[in-house]
Structure 1
Amino acid sequence: MQILRIDSATTGEQSISRRLTQMITDHYAAKNPEAQIVTRDLVSEPLPHIDPITTKAIRTPTETHEEAVRAAYPAQRAVLDEFLASDVVVIGAPMYNFSIPSQLKAWLDRLGVPGVTFKYSEKGPEGLAGGRKVVIASARGGAYENGTMAENQESLLKTFLEFIGVDDLTFIRVEKAGFGPEAIEAEFAAAKGEIARL
């Protein structure tokens, strides 16, 4: 079993989403002591935003790659292979300016690969990357309800992951980070109960 932990918060030791991804990863590791844990920190080791070379490397057949694209391909494909090799994926996704960190978007951009994680047919798009559990560690400064400003954060992740075939998706939230320490700890207490049920 492989557990993949993705962190994208830029707030270091103050990060709520990093604390949450640690709790979720610890939970799965305790239930599966033999599991291999793979960690990708998108802040300490950022993925560059995609450009014409990396886009070709990600999205076009290898036999069509010219030299620069061929050179870029292994590193781009490694990100996808890491995801596909994982049974559980824990994604730290704080809300930054009503969306996700750009570091996390750069990671997502390497997962949307035609013919590998999705395809189109007469019936429309079909996701091909199911078969794994994905848990989103969602952190927010305020208190939001679905259908409000939070839509740009969680809906983006839900839409994209479901598009590539993820059908086992859970959000664990810690909100009210801007309300002070007591509110944060109350949110973590509630999140701990939700994690225990995973």
Structure 2
Amino acid sequence: MSRVLIIESSARQQDSFSRQLTRQFISQWQAAHPADLITVRDVARNPVPHLDANLLGGWMKPEAQRSEAEQASLQRSNELTDELLAADVLVMAAPMYNFAIPSTLKAWLDHVLRAGVTFKYTDTGPQGLLTGKKAYVLTARGGLYAGSTTDHQEPYLRQVMAFIGIHDVTFIHAEGMNLGGDFQEKGLNQARSRISEIA
């Protein structure tokens, strides 16, 4: 049995293309791996607070010196990090907002990229600690960005995943969602086909 952690981040609900891809992924993954345990964390419906002084204090201060707010922030970060540590497969659903990822997804990443927990500093530089995991990133984009200099999603997410030791990352892009004509249908069909291949 494997554990699959899915992070939803689209601000839209019913009309979200990335959520459509997630639903397909879950359905096909469950059909192929019925014994796997799937956990869905929706950081749009239940946002994670952005990185602040309380979270930094929770990480850096000894327990006896933490305020109640700092302790609460640390506990929240521990919960999110424990979910990631327990997962064998990570799935991030990320619409493109202003050429990058939603701020809610960035806030989640800020909670789980933790020195001494998901990565460590060594004499030769940082080393990721989450080896052996697989990640899938399902994106939905209004235009056509894959492989261009205006795509700040894939390079960033590849970098942060590698930083914590996840190097096996597959991106599935649904592009052209706002272009009209045949672009939307083609983009969705290509993404759905890729999900069917891997799930």
Same fold (TM over 0.5): yes
Q: Which residue of 1 aligns with 2:159?
A: 159
Paired amino acid for 2:195: I
Q: Distance in 2 between matches of 1:64 and 1:116?
A: 21
Q: Alpha-carbon deviations, 1:80-129, whole Å to 9, x = none? A: 11111111111111110111111010000011110111112122111111
Q: Which residue of 1 aligns with 2:182?
A: 182
Q: Which residue of 2 aligns with 1:13?
A: 14
Could you say what the CA RMSD is over the residues aligned between the two structures, in angstroms? 1.7
Deviation at 1:62, TM superposition (A): 5.4
Paired amino acid for 2:117: V
> Where do 1:126-145 residues align within 5 Å?
126-145=127-146
Deviation at 1:132, TM superposition (A): 1.6
Distance 1:165 1:11, change over 3 A: same
**1:3–1:25 CA contact under 8 A, matched in 2:** no
Q: Which residue of 2 aligns with 1:102?
A: 103
Q: Distance in 2 between matches of 1:39 and 1:134?
A: 14
SS in 1 for 2:178: helix
Sequence identity percentage? 38
TM-score normalized with structure 1 length: 0.91
**Number of residue pairs the alignment of both structures matches:** 196
SS in 2 for 1:14: coil
Q: Which residue of 2 aligns with 1:56?
A: 57
Moved more, 43-52 or 71-80: 71-80
Moved more, 38-47 or 185-194: 185-194
> Where do 1:19-168 residues align within 5 Å?
19-57=20-58, 59-60=59-60, 63=63, 65-68=65-68, 69-150=70-151, 152-168=152-168
Q: Alpha-carbon deviations, 1:149-176, whole Å to 9, x = none? A: 01x2221111111111001110011000
Q: Distance in 1 between matches of 2:49 and 2:9?
A: 13
Distance 1:122 1:90, change over 3 A: same
Gaps of 5+ in 1: none
